[in-house]
Amino acid sequence: MDQPISDKTLTATNTAGPLVLALPKGRILNEVGPLLTRAGIGMAADFHDGSSRRLRFETSDPDLDVIRVRSFDVATFVAFGAAQIGICGADVLMEFDYPEIYAPLDLGIGACRVSVAEPVGGGGARGMARQSRVAVASKYPNIARRHFAARGIQAEVVHLNGAMELAPSLGLSRLIVDLVQTGSTLKANGLVETDVIAHITSRLIVNRTALKTRPEAIGDWLARFRAALAA
Ligand SMILES: Nc1ncnc2c1ncn2[C@@H]1O[C@H](COP(=O)(O)OP(=O)(O)OP(=O)(O)O)[C@@H](O)[C@H]1O
Ligand SMILES: O=P(O)(O)OC[C@H]1O[C@H](OP(=O)(O)OP(=O)(O)O)[C@H](O)[C@@H]1O
């Protein structure tokens, strides 16, 4: 069964019990820790222990549980109401564009950009103007297609989950669309950034149905995260 249970069904069964906060287990997690502390959320001792196989954790607040999932899956859990709130990068939100997700708070962490890159000496964005098609390797097929379509170019996307930087030198694609922070991964692999598609930070996200069915609990958490950001 590929289709998840509808948002309506899940949120209907999820109107009682602790709220579930979905957190990404990757690199953002280190920056999320201090924010959770400032928001008054005490985590179970094994939450930051990478060797723990547990995926769901109680917190110091009996009304809040935390799950630790892959960053792309944070958006999926929240969009379908399996988690009511979550933290994920704006890159993930741009890629999926889930109408069920409301992203009210920019947390200012996980700063990076989604960019186009090509091998050094490749001609840059201007060189692309004469092309009608281009092969692009990316973890973000929708962002890549939209970006090039807006320029009248059809992107043939090779969907990879990591190590996109290898694709041009191995003949898999001419360009990549990937996250860039310091630029050191591009440089180490003979690539240059030619176009910034979007500047990225992480957002607090909320399931829209849960916002209607549990407005007080979710409103309270939004206020606590806002206060944590201001502290
Ligand atoms: N180099 C970077 N610098 C800053 N933020 C980054 C960087 N790379 C990724 N991010 C942010 O962190 C989020 C998670 O990054 P990343 O994809 O590396 O996590 P991950 O959980 O290790 O990945 P995966 O789920 O594929 O294993 C991204 O969606 C993005 O918002
Ligand atoms: O500009 P930089 O500071 O070098 O950062 C960019 C790198 O960070 C991310 O990869 P990550 O380390 O998350 O590994 P991944 O290939 O598994 O996504 C991204 O996909 C780039 O490869």
Domain-by-domain residue ranges, the chain? 7-110+201-230, 112-200
- Measured in Å, residue 27 CA sits from the centre of ligand 2 at 10
Whether 31 has a pLDDT exceeding 60, the answer reads yes
What is the length of the chain? 231
* CB of residue 131 inside a 6 A radius of ligand 2: no
Q: What CATH code is assigned to 7-110+201-230?
A: 3.40.190.10
Q: Which ligand is nearest to the CA of 107?
A: 1
Q: What number is the average pLDDT over the span 99-125?
A: 94
pLDDT, position 14: 60
- Measured in Å, residue 193 CA sits from the centre of ligand 1 at 18
pLDDT, position 35: 95
Task: Tell me the Cα Rg of the chain.
Answer: 20
pLDDT, position 123: 78
Query: Which helix (H) or strand (E) element contains residue 75?
Result: helix 71-79
Q: Which ligand is nearest to the CA of 180?
A: 2
Q: Which residue is closest in CA terms to ligand 2's atom 19?
A: 179
Whether 12 has a pLDDT exceeding 70, the answer reads no
Q: What number is the average pLDDT over the span 56-85?
A: 96
Taking all residues of the chain, what is their mean pLDDT, rounded to a whole number?
92
Instruction: State the Cα–Cα distance between residues 11 and 220, nearest whole angstrom.
Output: 18
Q: What number is the average pLDDT over the span 127-134?
A: 81
- Measured in Å, residue 72 CA sits from the centre of ligand 1 at 9
| Fold match, 7-110+201-230 / 112-200 | yes
Going by pLDDT thresholds of 50, 70 and 90, the confidence category of residue 11 is very low
Whether 155 has a pLDDT exceeding 80, the answer reads yes
45 vs 174: which has the higher pLDDT: 174
Q: Which ligand is nearest to the CA of 68?
A: 1
* CB of residue 185 inside a 6 A radius of ligand 2: yes
9 vs 1: which has the higher pLDDT: 9
- Measured in Å, residue 182 CA sits from the centre of ligand 2 at 9
Going by pLDDT thresholds of 50, 70 and 90, the confidence category of residue 124 is confident
CATH T-level fold of 112-200: D-Maltodextrin-Binding Protein; domain 2 (3.40.190)
Going by pLDDT thresholds of 50, 70 and 90, the confidence category of residue 13 is very low
Q: What number is the average pLDDT over the span 7-26?
A: 73
Instruction: State the Cα–Cα distance between residues 90 and 198, nearest whole angstrom.
Output: 9
Per the structure block, which two tokens stand in for 198?
């979007």
pLDDT, position 129: 66
